[in-house]
């Protein structure tokens, strides 16, 4: 199979990268447009967040199911289905003026995105030889990070030049072209289902994820004590416990839990999660700070937010190359440390902050992400065997999207909770003339995100120290003292 598609491997990679980029782009491209969308549809900030969270929650809830279906029915078949559905959802998002219909269209988009995300790394593994697979997977990982980070800036430019509908409609011609070449070039499979889908595990997983994130998304407007919020948490906890019990007994589980026994894999996955928590705290707060507090236009805000992905574009390939020379763990530690520092610096911004000050803080944050992203993806994929590359890729995509949802929920909960406490009444939106309250809430969000990322850096440092100690201990043991047989 590898030889059959070797001549088309780079066009196939471009197809995979473009579809992955579009799917992740739509997780963040709406952020800058949220204030305009809220005014156009006459909803408040807490409601308009559903445009973002509904997309991410659906992906998180079903991505592992599509990964399993790809193994059963063929990755190309599920991947093409995903591109077609995502393009249809994008069209529906762009032509509606109804908020409920928009949310429904976002759900259609998300189902398509989940189908492509779950199978992109498996297709690359199938097409590329082992000597080039790491490079191809690294480029896919970079497209994921770029899609997440280019979104706010590109969204601001599009909204400033036209209207918010075009942030969705721009996907349609690209999606049609990608779909055409995917049908022509992607590897064919006559695979028929031999395994059964773990339906019970899939249902329990969805009941673990969806109620939790729906509840988290509604905390700013309803409060933690609301019966609906508490019910969501209880359903999620009970379902997750049941999911773990069921998966341990399955011969073909939705998630092979043994993969988490690899400590380096688990730590790398955890660090990927917390970085996206921190970055989406930034992504959801920064547009409102730039447009409402600093009174920048959407175009200006978009250009400022493009600094991050531009630096990442330059640094990600470099850090990936350097990680091949010196290893990935040191770079992930330095990256996490810089991300923490950048988030802490962002917490010091005020109404009086200059553009150059803000840009310098964004540079620190983006350099940290540039150093972290590619090496961490390499760590995740290198800690498992080839037969588990698809599973590892699906779990990586899952925790990334979970981090995005948690980042949005954390940012909005802390921001509006802080503003409500300071103003003396419940706040679920930016309050005109109360920039001081917003700045204080923003500071809490950034400092919390910085501490979370610093925790990941400390864990990575402890592992590095432990690894060096074990290497040193081995080096100091005389060869004659090393036992090679039974006592």
Q: Clarify whether residues 241 and 124 are in a common domain.
A: no
Q: Clarify whether residues 23 and 33 are in a common domain.
A: yes
Q: Clarify whether residues 75 and 220 are in a common domain.
A: no
Find how far residue 269's CA is from the centre of its chain.
Answer: 12
Q: Which is more confident, 340 or 216?
A: 340
Task: Concatenate the DSSP letters of all residues of 111-162 into one string.
Answer: HHHHHHHHHHHHHHHHHS-HHHHHHHHHHHHHHHHHHHHHHHHHHHHHHHHS
pLDDT of residue 130: 65
Total domains present in the chain:
2
pLDDT tens digit string along 6-59?
Answer: 678 889 989 998 998 898 888 778 877 887 888 888 887 667 878 887 888 888
Q: Clarify whether residues 206 and 323 are in a common domain.
A: no
CATH number of the domain at 268, please: 1.20.1250.20
Q: What Cα–Cα distance (Å) separates residue 231 from each residue in 208, 224, 244, 307?
A: 12, 11, 20, 41
- Own/partner pairs for 6-13, CB < 8 Å, 24+ apart? 6/127, 6/129, 8/127, 8/185, 9/127, 9/128, 9/132, 9/136, 11/181, 11/185, 12/123, 12/124, 12/127, 12/185, 12/186, 12/187, 13/124, 13/127, 13/128, 13/136, 13/139, 13/140
pLDDT of residue 4: 55
Domain end (from 233, 251, 269): 251
Q: Which is more confident, 140 or 193?
A: 140
Mean residue pLDDT across the chain: 83
pLDDT of residue 484: 39
Q: Residue 429 domain-assigned?
A: yes
pLDDT tens digit string along 259-276?
Answer: 888 888 888 899 989 998
pLDDT of residue 363: 94
Crossing angle for the helix pair 263-288 and 389-423, nearest 10 degrees?
Answer: 40
Q: Clarify whether residues 46 and 134 are in a common domain.
A: yes
Residue 441 exposure: Cα atoms within 13 Å on the Cβ side: 32
pLDDT tens digit string along 404-423?
Answer: 878 888 898 899 888 888 88
Q: Residue 223 domain-assigned?
A: yes
Q: Place 345 in a pLDDT band, splitting at 50, 70 and 90.
A: very high
Q: Residue 127 domain-assigned?
A: yes
pLDDT of residue 45: 67
Asked if residue 342 lies in contact with residue 438, where contact means CB atoms within 8 angstroms, the answer is no
Q: Clarify whether residues 233 and 265 are in a common domain.
A: no
Q: Clarify whether residues 173 and 69 are in a common domain.
A: yes
The three-point CA angle 458-462-468 to 5° equals 145
Q: Place 295 in a pLDDT band, splitting at 50, 70 and 90.
A: confident
Q: What is the mean pLDDT of residues 109-134?
A: 82
Does residue 447 surpass a pLDDT of 70? yes
Q: Residue 192 domain-assigned?
A: no
Q: Residue 1 domain-assigned?
A: no
Q: Residue 44 domain-assigned?
A: yes
Domain with 224 in it = 199-251
Q: Clarify whether residues 256 and 218 are in a common domain.
A: no
Q: Residue 486 domain-assigned?
A: no
Distance from C-alpha of 366 to C-alpha of 362, rounded to nearest angstrom: 6
Q: Clarify whether residues 348 and 367 are in a common domain.
A: yes
Backbone angles phi, psi at 27, to 5 degrees: -80, -20
Q: Place 234 in a pLDDT band, splitting at 50, 70 and 90.
A: very high
Does residue 177 surpass a pLDDT of 80? yes
Q: What is the mean pLDDT of residues 103-121?
A: 91
Q: Clarify whether residues 242 and 342 are in a common domain.
A: no
pTM: 0.77
Q: Clarify whether residues 227 and 291 are in a common domain.
A: no
Q: Residue 18 domain-assigned?
A: yes
Q: Which is more confident, 313 or 241?
A: 241
Buried b (16+ CB within 10 A) or exposed e, 414-423: bbbbbbbeee
Distance from C-alpha of 181 to C-alpha of 188, rounded to nearest angstrom: 13
Q: Clarify whether residues 226 and 176 are in a common domain.
A: no
pLDDT of residue 372: 87
pLDDT tens digit string along 143-164?
Answer: 876 777 677 778 878 887 888 8
């Amino acid at each position: 199979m590898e030889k059959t598609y070797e001549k088309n491997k780079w066009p196939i990679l471009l197809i995979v990268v473009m579809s992955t980029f579009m799917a992740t782009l739509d997780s963040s491209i709406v952020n800058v447009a949220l204030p305009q969308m809220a005014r156009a549809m006459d909803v408040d900030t807490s409601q308009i967040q559903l445009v973002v969270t509904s997309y991410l929650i659906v992906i998180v809830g079903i991505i592992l199911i599509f990964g399993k279906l790809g193994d059963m029915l063929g990755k190309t078949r599920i991947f093409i289905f995903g591109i077609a559905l995502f393009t249809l959802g994008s069209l529906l998002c762009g032509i509606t003026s109804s908020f409920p219909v928009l949310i429904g269209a976002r759900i259609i988009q998300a189902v398509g995105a989940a189908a492509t995300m779950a199978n992109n790394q498996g297709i690359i593994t199938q097409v590329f030889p082992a000597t080039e697979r790491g490079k191809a997977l690294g480029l896919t990982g970079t497209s994921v990070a770029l899609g997440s980070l280019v979104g706010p800036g590109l969204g601001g430019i599009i909204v400033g030049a036209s209207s918010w509908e075009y942030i969705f409609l721009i996907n349609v011609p690209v999606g049609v072209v990608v779909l055409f070449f995917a049908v022509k070039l992607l590897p064919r499979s006559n695979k028929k289902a031999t395994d059964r889908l773990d339906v019970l595990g899939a249902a329990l997983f969805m009941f673990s994820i969806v109620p939790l994130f729906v509840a988290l998304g509604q905390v700013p407007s309803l409060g933690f004590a609301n019966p609906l919020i508490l019910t969501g948490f209880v359903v999620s906890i009970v379902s997750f416990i049941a999911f773990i019990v069921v998966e341990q007994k399955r011969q073909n589980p939705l998630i092979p839990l043994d993969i988490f026994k690899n400590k380096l894999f688990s730590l790398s996955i955890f660090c990927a999660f917390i970085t996206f928590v921190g970055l989406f705290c930034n992504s959801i707060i920064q547009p409102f700070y730039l447009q409402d507090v600093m009174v920048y236009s959407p175009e200006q805000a978009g250009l400022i937010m493009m600094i991050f992905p531009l630096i990442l574009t330059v640094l990600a390939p470099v850090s990936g190359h350097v990680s091949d020379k010196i290893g990935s763990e040191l770079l992930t530690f330095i990256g996490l440390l810089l991300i923490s520092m950048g988030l802490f610096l962002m917490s010091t911004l005020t109404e009086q902050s200059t553009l150059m000050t803000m840009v310098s803080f964004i540079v620190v944050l983006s350099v940290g992400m540039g150093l972290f992203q590619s090496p961490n993806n390499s760590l995740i994929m290198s800690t498992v065997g080839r037969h588990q590359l698809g599973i590892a890729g699906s779990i990586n995509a899952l925790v990334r999207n979970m981090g995005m949802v948690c980042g949005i929920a954390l940012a909005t909960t802390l921001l509006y909770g802080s503003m409500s406490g300071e103003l003396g009444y419940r706040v679920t939106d930016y309050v005109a003339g109360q920039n001081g309250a917003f700045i204080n809430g923003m500071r809490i969000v950034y400092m919390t995100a910085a501490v979370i990322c610093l925790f990941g850096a400390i864990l990575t440092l402890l592992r590095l120290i432990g690894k060096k100690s074990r290497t040193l201990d081995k080096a100091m043991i005389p060869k004659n003292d090393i036992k090679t047989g039974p006592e």
